[in-house]
Structure 1
Amino acid sequence: MSRLVMHVDLDAFYAAVEQRDRPEWRGRPLVVGAEPGRRGVVATCSYEARRFGVHSAMPIAEAVRRLPAETVYVRPDMARYAEVSRDIMRVLGTLSPLVEPVSIDEAYLDVSGLERLIGPPEVVARHAKAAIHAAVGLTASVGIGPNRLIAKLASDARKPDGLLVVHPEEVRAFLDPLPLAALRGVGAVTARRLEQAGLRTVGDVRCRPLEDLRRRLGARTGTQVHLQSNGIADDRVHPATERQSISKETTFAEDVVDTDVLRDTLRWAAQEVGYLARHAARKGAVVTLKIRLHPFETHTRSRTLAAPTAEDRVIFDTAWDLYRADTHAGRAVRLIGLGLSGWAQTPVQPDLFADKDTREGNHPDDRLDATLDAIRLKFGRHCIQRGLARRP
Structure 2
Amino acid sequence: MQDRSIIHLNITDFAVAVERVCDRSLVAVPLLIAPENAARGIVHDMSEEAYQDGVRKGMSLSRARRYCPAARILSPRLPVYRKAMTALVNEVVCYTPLVEQGQEDGHLFMDVTGTHRLHGPPPDIAWRLRKRVLSGLGLDPMWSLGSNKLVAKIASRVVRPSGEIIVGAGEEHAFLKPLPLSLLPGLRNTEQKILTDFNLVTIGDLARLSKQQLRLPFRKRGDYLYNASRGRDASPVLPGVDRRLRIIREHVFAEDTERAEELRTVCSIFVHEIGHCLRKRKIQARRVVVSLMYCDGRSASRQATDKQGTDNSFMLRSLALKALGSAWKRRIRVRSCSIIADQFLPRSPQPSLFCMHSVRELQQQKLLAAMDAVADRFGSAVLRSGSCW
Name the TM-score, length of structure 2 as normaliser: 0.69
Q: Report the CA distance between 1:257 and its aligned residue.
A: 4.1
Name the structure 2 match of 1:117. 118
Task: Tell me, yes or no, if the aligned pair for 2:283 and 2:347 is still in contact at 8 Å.
Answer: no
Task: Tell me, yes or no, if the aligned pair for 1:210 and 1:223 is still in contact at 8 Å.
Answer: yes
Name the structure 1 match of 2:81. 81
Separation in structure 1 between the aligned mates of residue 175 and residue 235 of structure 2, nearest angstrom: 17
2:219 alignment partner AA: A
Name the structure 2 match of 1:47. 48
* Matched ranges for 1:220-299 at <5 A: 220-240=220-240, 246=246, 257=256, 284-286=283-285, 288-291=288-291, 299=302
1:84 alignment partner AA: A
Separation in structure 1 between the aligned mates of residue 81 and residue 237 of structure 2, nearest angstrom: 24
Task: Tell me, yes or no, if the aligned pair for 1:141 and 1:156 is still in contact at 8 Å.
Answer: no
Task: Tell me, yes or no, if the aligned pair for 1:185 and 1:221 is still in contact at 8 Å.
Answer: no
Structure 1 pair 63/258, CA: closer, same or farther in 2 (3 Å)?
farther
Task: Tell me, yes or no, if the aligned pair for 1:292 and 1:298 is still in contact at 8 Å.
Answer: yes
Name the structure 1 match of 2:141. 140
Unmatched segments (≥5 aa) in structure 1: 251-255, 275-281, 308-317, 365-392
Task: Tell me, yes or no, if the aligned pair for 2:156 and 2:164 is still in contact at 8 Å.
Answer: yes
Separation in structure 2 between the aligned mates of residue 298 and residue 51 of structure 1, nearest angstrom: 26
User: RMSD of the TM alignment (CA)?
Assistant: 4.4
Separation in structure 1 between the aligned mates of residue 248 and residue 147 of structure 2, nearest angstrom: 25
Q: Report the CA distance between 1:195 and its aligned residue.
A: 1.7
Name the structure 1 match of 2:72. 72
Q: Report the CA distance between 1:346 and its aligned residue.
A: 7.8
Name the TM-score, length of structure 1 as normaliser: 0.69
Query: SS where residue 95 of structure 1 aligns?
Result: coil
Separation in structure 2 between the aligned mates of residue 74 and residue 29 of structure 1, nearest angstrom: 11
Name the structure 2 match of 1:312. none
Separation in structure 1 between the aligned mates of residue 282 and residue 107 of structure 2, nearest angstrom: 21
Structure 1 pair 165/123, CA: closer, same or farther in 2 (3 Å)?
same
Separation in structure 2 between the aligned mates of residue 7 and residue 99 of structure 1, nearest angstrom: 10
* Matched ranges for 1:194-209 at <5 A: 194-209=195-210
Structure 1 pair 220/332, CA: closer, same or farther in 2 (3 Å)?
farther
Deviations 1:6-55 (A, max 9, x none): 11122211111111111111110011112167312100011121121112
Query: SS where residue 194 of structure 1 aligns?
Result: helix
Separation in structure 1 between the aligned mates of residue 135 and residue 283 of structure 2, nearest angstrom: 34
Task: Tell me, yes or no, if the aligned pair for 1:213 and 1:222 is still in contact at 8 Å.
Answer: yes
Query: SS where residue 231 of structure 1 aligns?
Result: coil
Name the structure 2 match of 1:342. 344
Structure 1 pair 230/290, CA: closer, same or farther in 2 (3 Å)?
same
Deviations 1:80-118 (A, max 9, x none): 111111111111111101111122222111111233333
Task: Tell me, yes or no, if the aligned pair for 1:125 and 1:163 is still in contact at 8 Å.
Answer: no
Structure 1 pair 249/139, CA: closer, same or farther in 2 (3 Å)?
farther
Name the structure 2 match of 1:100. 100
Separation in structure 2 between the aligned mates of residue 241 and residue 37 of structure 1, nearest angstrom: 31
Percent of pairs with identical residues: 25
Count of residues in correspondence between the two structures: 321
Q: Report the CA distance between 1:66 and its aligned residue.
A: 1.0
Name the structure 2 match of 1:90. 90
1:205 alignment partner AA: L
Task: Tell me, yes or no, if the aligned pair for 1:143 and 1:151 is still in contact at 8 Å.
Answer: yes
Q: Which has the larger radius of gyration?
A: 2
Structure 1 pair 300/200, CA: closer, same or farther in 2 (3 Å)?
closer
Separation in structure 2 between the aligned mates of residue 17 and residue 94 of structure 1, nearest angstrom: 22
Q: Tell me which moved more, 294-303 or 9-18.
A: 294-303
Q: Tell me which moved more, 165-174 or 117-126.
A: 117-126
1:118 alignment partner AA: H
